[in-house]
A and B are shown apart, each in its own frame.
Chain A
Amino acid sequence: KNEVEQSPQNLTAQEGEFITINCSYSVGISALHWLQQHPGGGIVSLFMLSSGKKKHGRLIATINIQEKHSSLHITASHPRDSAVYICAVGLNNNDMRFGAGTRLTVKP
């Protein structure tokens, strides 16, 4: 079993829909990251969080440390949100573990 599991693997949505991507992990962590990788390959760090919730524009990330679960929400989705979203956890020794990613396609 992978230490970081993401779901769904693939997600197709219509423009305007509310999107949720989930991440569960099985190891002790110090922080959780959400990354965005566009088709061109570049990776952008969206959020780093260790508790509660963070919001940036139409993006919201939440984490429940007790349940070892995080969600990334996108409100009013847009085709430009189409990308691969990767959940990564920072371990207590500063190592990192990555989920396999969720490929999101938002259709106009």
Chain B
Amino acid sequence: DAGVIQSPRHEVTEMGQEVTLRCKPISGHNSLFWYRQTMMRGLELLIYFNNNVPIDDSGMPEDRFSAKMPNASFSTLKIQPSEPRDSAVYFCASSGLGGGANYGYTFGSGTRLTVV
């Protein structure tokens, strides 16, 4: 298995532009998580899905952020419009065995977003 695949690895965009981050979870995993990591705040859970359904999006910072999981093998995190304070590394992770944060995780390599 290739693991959790995120794209792009790096993204540089101008303020105000739309940004879409992509994630392919491990096949068979039924939970998917989006995290943001910054120097100031560390790792933060943004949203997670169980069986493609968003369970908790209370970590999403504001309405500019949205996430979708149209099927079991693909998820997107969209920021529109982007702002410089959105600059961070965004990680996707997936887990199986019934799902949820209480089962082993596999993380993607992350997307480093820079908004200028």
* B56 near A50: Cβ-Cβ < 8 Å: no
Q: A30-B101, A31-B102, A94-B101 are in contact. List 15 more A-B contacts (CB 8 A).
A: A41-B89, A41-B109, A42-B107, A42-B110, A44-B107, A45-B104, A45-B105, A48-B103, A50-B102, A93-B56, A94-B55, A96-B33, A96-B45, A98-B42, A100-B42
- Tell me if B18 counts as interface (CB < 8 A to partner A): no
Asked if residues A33 and B105 are in contact (CB atoms below 8 Å), the reply is yes
B interface residue numbers (CB < 8 A to A): 33, 42-45, 48, 50, 55-56, 58-59, 89, 91, 93, 100-107, 109-110, 112
Q: Please, what's the 1-or-0 string for A71-108, where 1 marks a CB less than 8 Å from any CB in chain B?
A: 00000000000000010101101111011110000000
Q: Looking at the assembled complex, report how far the CB atom of A98 sits from the nearest CB atom of chain B, in whole angstroms.
A: 4
Closest to B43 in A: A98
Dominant SS among interface residues on chain A? strand
A48 adjacent to B105 (CB under 8 Å): yes
Return chain B residues, CB-CB under 8 Å to A95: 45, 56, 58-59, 101
Instruction: Flag if A31 contacts B101 (CB, 8 Å).
Output: yes
